[in-house]
Structures are given as C-alpha cells and as structure tokens.
Homo-oligomer: A and B are copies of this chain.
Amino acid sequence: MDAQTLLALLEERSGQFVSGAEISRKLGVSRTAIWKHVRKLEAEGYVIEAAPRNGYRLVERPCRLSPAGLSAKLATRVFGRRLQVLDAVPSTQDVVRELAEAGAPEGTLVLAEQQTRGRGRMGRAWVSPPGKGVWMSLLLRPRVPLPLAPQLTMLAAVALCRGLGRIAPLPIGIKWPNDLLVEGRKISGILLESAAEDERLKHVVVGIGISVNLEAEDFPPEVRAKAVSLRMALGRPLDRTDVVAAVMEEFETLYELYDGQGFGPIRSLWEARSATLHRRVRLETPQGTVEGTAEALDELGGLRIRRDDGTLHTVYTGELTGPLQMAEGERS
C-alpha cells in the first residue's frame, strides 16, 4: 500500500469516517503504516481528521496539485503513471524534453503550479500564473514515422476537447490546428515538440495549457478580449485534479485507438468538433496569405481551403486570422 491507496479509500467515503480497523483490513497494513501515510498526505496539503473511536476522515483537499491526489484520481494505465508536480519552472516542456533524452518512458507527465516562461505556438508567450491553471507536458514515444507527426497534433486537440467536455458543459470548438475556443475565445492551447532521427520519431512532448480558474484580470490586457477560463465561462471554479484526470483518460483512450486503427477515427472526431471547417478563413502562411472556405482535413493534418477562384489549396503551417464564430446549434 501507499499513500494514494489510502487517499482513494478516504475519497470514496467523501468526508465520512473510516475506522483504522477497516483500513488495516482492506489495505493489509499495520496501524503504524496508516499513520505514516496520513502524515505524508498532510505534508501534501490534505487535512485529515483522526479520531480515536471513529478512525480517519478527509476534511480538506489541498488547493495545490499533489502527486498522490492526481495518482488516486487517474484511471489510466500509462499516461501520468510517472508524474512530477513542480512549483515554478520556466517551462514544463523543457523539463520533459530533458527527461525524454535521459530515457524516460512514454506517459511521463510533468505539471507545474506556475510557468515563468511558458511557450505557445509560433514562439509566443503563454500566460501561466501560479495555482490557477493546468500547465503540463506529457511524453509520447509514438510508433509512427515522422511524416505522420501532425496527426498527433489533431489527436491532442480532440483529447483535450473531449476531456474538458466531460467536466464542463461548454460549447468547446477546435480552431485549426489545435486551439480550443469557447465562443471565439481561447480556453486552452497545445504545443507539440517533436524530435526525430531521419524518418523515425524519437519522442514528442505534448505541452498543454488550460486556463482553469483564471479570472479576467489574470490575463494581460492585450489578450483579455481573446481569452477566457473555464471558471469565467462556467461561473464556478473547477478542481484542477479533475481536469487533469479527465484529459489524461481521454488522451490515453484516443492514443490507443489511433495506435490500433490509425488516423481515420481521430479525423472524424476532429471534424465533428471543428470550429474552422465550412467557414471562411484567412491564413497567414510562410508563402503568403490564403483565403477561402475551409473544406476538410487531409491525411497529414493539413487544412484544405477552397479559394474563391475554385482552386483547392492545402495548408500545413500557418496562422488562422479569419473570422471564426461558432454557428448556432453547435454546442458540444
């Protein structure tokens, strides 16, 4: 037994007492061992009441993310089974990249309470204030060749969209390639950093930023009109541990689906959640501006755009700047 097994048992009883005798029996440990684990949980910020006749009960969860709390909630086989929660780091991406190069296994997950130099797409900064969001990086070692790496970008967007949808009844749409929007405002971002040797992917570090409990003033003035948090959209705060667990579970499920059945099912799921398809778009690409109607996603994650002169153009890299609104009836 370890601390998280004890925590899971206490969580199960949601605030009711569990007797020491029952814990000893169920987990097969001594009273002394129980006490040691209680102390460990308290060190992580849990408040546990111990009453001589009644046993133990969980009074308060920490507002900080805790490894034991996350492990107890995660119903995954691989994703997040190795995890670290750090205090303040420049970027969780760099931490996981170093772990990857040192041989860390697939599914290694690193979270930080705060990022001081969080990165977004196109080298932009990503706002990651302490304690209010989920700033994390997940290590993948996919068995796909390099040209197919962009499919993982789409997979990550679908996983995040579905994971958040499980705990927050909001109309979340995917802006190509992988921003998540609620009513046109960004609620989450994804950044995949890949390393390859020839055509062989060595590893992919998936950076995920979710604005969970930020309030309007937590965003810098220049992004306030374009950004929103789950708390602002829902009108209530969420438990960040629930957010991480839901996203990791969806991610692992879809990753296994992809491994077994390829990109087809992922593409359908992406298309169903897309806030970009069938709309007029304007894209800034290294080769210039492309304007037209977004028609489909191709096998490599490229966006097929029908220009006004009828020609079809596929874009793999670029920045969507065109008008983007969720149409009516597209609540997810």
Contacts and interface: CB of A to CB of B under 8 A. Distances in A.
A131 interface: no
B317 A200 contact: yes
Interface residues of A, number: 28
Contacts of A149: 146-147, 196, 199
A212 B147 CA distance: 33
Contacts of A200: 122, 317
Nearest to A150: B199
A302 B145 CA distance: 10
A26 interface: no
A316 interface: yes
Interface in A119-133: 121-122
A317 B196 CA distance: 12
Contacts of A122: 200
Nearest to A285: B145
Contacts of A153: 198-199
A184 interface: no
B194 A196 contact: yes
A168 to B, nearest CB: 25
A195 interface: yes
A206 to B, nearest CB: 10
Contacts of A178: 198
27 contacts: A122-B200, A143-B286, A145-B150, A145-B302, A145-B317, A146-B149, A146-B194, A146-B317, A147-B147, A147-B148, A147-B149, A147-B300, A147-B301, A149-B196, A149-B199, A150-B198, A150-B199, A153-B198, A177-B199, A191-B197, A192-B198, A193-B195, A194-B195, A194-B196, A195-B195, A199-B301, A200-B317
Given A147-B300, A192-B197, A199-B316, 16 more contacts: A122-B200, A145-B302, A146-B146, A147-B148, A147-B149, A147-B150, A147-B301, A147-B316, A149-B196, A178-B198, A191-B197, A191-B198, A192-B198, A193-B195, A193-B196, A194-B196
